[in-house]
Amino acid sequence: MSTDNLVEARQVRKHFGRLEVLKGINLNVARGEVTCLLGPSGSGKSTFLRCINHLEKIDGGELLVDGQHVGYQRKGNKLYELSDSRISRHRADIGMVFQRFNLFPHLTALENITLAPTKVLKQSSSVVGARALALLERVGLADKAGSYPSQLSGGQQQRVAIARALCMEPKLLLFDEPTSALDPELVGDVLDVMKSLANDGMTMIVVTHEIGFAREVADTAYFMDHGVIVESGKPQDVLVNPQTDRLREFLRQVL
Amino acid sequence: MSSEVPEGVHSTAPSTTTANSDETSSSGEVSSLKVVPLRSPVRYVSWALAAIVVAMFVHTLFSTTTRFGQDGMQPRFEWHIVFQYLFDRVFVYGAIVTVILTATSMIVGVAIGIGLAAMRLSKFGVFRVSAALYVWFFRGTPVWTQLIFWVNLAYLYPIISVGLPFGSTWHSWSMSGFETNFFLVAIIALGLNEGAYMAEIVRGGILVVDHGQVEAASSLGMRRALAFRRIILPQAMRSIIPPTGNETISMLKTTSLVAPALGAISILGITTGDINEAAVNILSRNYHTIPVLMVAALWYLFLTSVLSIVQYFIERHYGRGFVSTSHRRERRSLRTALEESPR
């Protein structure tokens, strides 16, 4: 399956008990593109993001990353869930950055970054170590390699988390509200790192409330509400000239 | 707009507004103000009272007293007998037995506990149910009973065979000899029993770890087993260690059940009992009940103290990276910062 799309979602459905949180999501992400998912809380945007690397299982439709189902194998008309080890192999290609950072508190910044490449990808520790230090340098934290997460500010922790995801050399990076838990003055540093990644051609899907970032960096913006995509398109169009009352209302509240 | 400056926050800039404007007249004094913490006289009085009570108690330890049926003053505690037996070979060997039994039983118990806890949290029902049944059985029956059952295993199951269920046998082992190997029986009985308690301690520790840690590990492509070993367990250790210290100290004394239940144990070519058995043997011969039991108590206290020190270092190891370990240091640095800042 040769396509320019790195991520393809077709009619993705998901429910928690009786609550339907995704009601048929269609979305394509081209290689090297930055996609922003916007929407009020409870609109399903984070759930959709977590479906992409199989942290949540989908209940219908299909979701492909690089032409492969994530966590499933298609045989005929059915998707069979894969074993833990095969799902893990899929996930290793997809980086994720969380709202609450989720750094490993018992490991230093450097150990946080090097653990998965050495243990999962089985790369030599000298190669990984050099790459990790270069990544720390890139996110502006070269002097924090030996610090534990508890000794870092929120913004620094999130930048370590980004470096941790990057060290796996993923083909796709998922950001789940990466700046929502940060103090306002720390947001800028994290967004700067994300912008430089975007400029380098990293394929990114970003769930965010930062309208300014979406307008400046995103190639495509999606506005979700109640489990459906309400509007989508170039952020300059969608976010400047909203077509629906729902998005107009949302933008008024956020801005 | 800053009409409400919090109390105790003094800016070095003299012109800022303060609630009481008469205090701000002399700016030089404000910058050299020193914070004096509250020192209640209760602190000193309570220490003095405690010192008096301790002194009175220590005095009773070494003073003499009258006894019914005996003339004159007698030493209350017969310390000369205590020192006579304190380093007696029987007690030294007893201490070795107690330590070896405790250490091996705890190693078995912790290993079983971690395995059972992982089973309790497994996605496979058969693991969850069998682990729960194990814990139910081994917590629900007395250790004494379990010791007696294990030593009688060879009578209940003289031959253990591997083969098809109700069909042909591939290999058999005779259990003869097991009923007299008290050391092995003791480790199995105490270890399996301890495993049930450790399982719940480990499970509790795992439940404390934030679920985001599992998600972060998964998103990095770690398999469940790897995430459990490298991410979950090291963090769970923080809450597992203190109750495990309790269990170890408790085990130290539980091992005193082995000798009465089974008999003397052969370790390092010497057949002997544990600390408590040593005390019972000696006092049954000389009837110096209190001093001989005091020797046993001192040995147990000594071993418990050593374990507490070991526990302190293990806790410090697994506490690295967590705020609580540097809490003391932070509090100190905060205090010095407060004392030194406006200079």
- Residues forming beta bridges with residue A175, ordered by sequence position: A97, A206
Residue to mutate among B219, B238, B320, with most A CBs inside 10 A, is B219
- Quote the pLDDT of residue A110: 97
What is the rounded average pLDDT of the residues B202-231? 95
| pLDDT of B6 above 90 | no
A102 and B210: CB-CB below 8 Å? yes
Q: Residue B20 pLDDT more than 90? A: no
Phi first, then psi: give them for residue B224, nearest 5 degrees.
Answer: -55, -40
pLDDT digit string, tens, across residues A152-183: 999 999 999 999 999 999 999 999 999 999 99
Q: Is A143 helix (H, G, I), strand (E, B) or coil?
A: helix
A32-50 residue pLDDT tens: 999 999 999 889 999 999 9
For residue B3, the model assigns a pLDDT of 45
B85 pLDDT more than 70 = yes
Q: What is the pLDDT, as a whole number, of residue B337?
A: 55
CB A209 within 8 A of CB A254: yes
pLDDT score at B323: 61
Q: Which residues of A touch B222 (CB under 8 A)?
A: 88, 116, 119-120
Determine the residue of chain A that is closest to B330 in CA distance.
A151
Beta-carbon separation of B219 and A96 below 8 A: yes
pLDDT in tens, A89-132: 999 999 999 999 999 999 999 999 999 999 999 999 999 999 99
Whether the predicted pLDDT of B341 surpasses 80:
no
- B-chain residue closest to A90, CA distance: B221
The pLDDT of residue B229 is above 80: yes
Residue A198 has pLDDT above 90, yes or no: yes
Per-residue pLDDT band at B266 (split at 50, 70, 90): confident
Give contacts of B224 with chain A, Cβ < 8 Å.
84
Residue of B nearest to A148 (CA): B321
> Per-residue confidence at B170, pLDDT binned at 50, 70, 90?
confident
- pLDDT value of position B325: 45
Residues of chain A positioned with their CB less than 8 A from the CB of B234: 106
Distances (CA, A) of B169 to A188, A234, B165, B178: 72, 74, 9, 22
Give B-chain residues touching A85 at CB under 8 angstroms.
Answer: 223
What confidence tier does B47 reach under pLDDT thresholds 50, 70, 90? very high
User: In the prediction, which pLDDT does B28 show?
Assistant: 61
Question: C-alpha distances in angstroms, A80 versus A8, B27, B121?
Answer: 18, 76, 24
CA of B222 vs chain A CAs: smallest distance (Å) = 6
Q: Kindly tell me if the per-residue pLDDT of B101 is higher than 50.
A: yes
Distance from the Cα of A92 to chain B's closest Cα (Å) equals 4
Q: What is the pLDDT of residue A2?
A: 46
Report the share of chain B in percent with pLDDT over 90.
56
* pLDDT value for B8: 45
Mean of the per-residue pLDDT values for chain A?
Answer: 93
DSSP state at residue A46: H
- CA–CA min distance B156, chain A (Å): 42
With an 8 Å Cβ cutoff, is B218 touching chain A? Answer: yes
Would the CB atoms of B219 and A100 count as touching at under 8 Å? no
Closest residue in A to B213 (Cα) is: A102
Contacts of B321 in chain A (CB under 8 A): 105-108, 148-150
Is the pLDDT score of A145 beyond 80? yes
Inter-CA distances, B39 with A215, B35, B177, Å: 59, 12, 68
pLDDT digits (tens, 9 = 90+) for B126-146: 999 999 999 999 999 999 999
Q: Is the pLDDT of residue B37 over 70?
A: yes
pLDDT reported for residue B335: 55
Residue of chain B minimizing CA distance to A108: B321
Q: Is the pLDDT of residue B329 over 80?
A: no
The band of B13, judged by pLDDT with boundaries at 50, 70 and 90, is: very low
For residue A24, pLDDT over 70 is answered with: yes
Contacts of B212 in chain A (CB under 8 A): 98, 100, 102
**Residues on A contacting B at a C-beta cutoff of 8 Å:** 53, 55, 84-85, 88-89, 91-96, 98, 100, 102-108, 115-116, 119-121, 148-150, 164-165, 168, 174
- Which of A119, A121, A128, A160 to mutate: most B Cβ within 10 Å? A119
Q: How far is B18 from chain A (nearest CA, A)?
A: 28
* Closest among A173, A245, A242 to A211, alpha carbons compared: A242
* CB nearest A55 (choices: B219, B222, B322): B219
Calpha distance B22→B48 (Å, rounded): 42
Residue B296 has pLDDT above 90, yes or no: yes
Chain B residues with CB under 8 Å of A93 CB are 221
CB contact under 8 A, A116 and B221: yes
Q: If pLDDT is split at 50, 70 and 90, which confidence band does B12 have?
A: very low
Q: How far A174 CA lies from chain B's nearest CA (Å)? A: 10
Q: Which residues of B touch A102 (CB under 8 A)?
A: 210, 212-213, 215-216
User: What percentage of chain B reaches a pLDDT higher than 70?
Assistant: 86
Name the β-bridge partners of B140.
none
Nearest Cβ partner for A89 among B210, B213, B221: B221
User: B-chain residues within 8 Å CB-CB of A100?
Assistant: 212
Inform me whether the C-beta atom of residue B317 falls under 8 Å from chain A C-beta atoms: no
Determine which of A50, A83, A96, A104 to mutate to test the interface with B (most B C-beta atoms within 10 Å). A104
Chain A CB contacts of B322 under 8 Å are: 105-106, 148, 150
Tell me the pLDDT band of A79, cut-offs 50, 70 and 90: confident
The pLDDT of residue B264: 84
CB-count exposure of residue B229 (10 Å: 0-12, 13-18, 19+): middle
Mean pLDDT of chain B: 85
Residues sharing a CB contact under 8 Å with residue B281, sequence separation 6 or more, in sequence order: B90, B273
Put simply, the answer to whether A91 touches B221 (Cβ < 8 Å) is yes
ipTM value, please give it.
Answer: 0.93
Work out the pLDDT band at B155, boundaries 50, 70, 90.
confident
Structure tokens at A247: 């998005």
Q: What torsion do the CA atoms of B192, B196, B201, B207 make, to the nearest 10 degrees?
A: 120
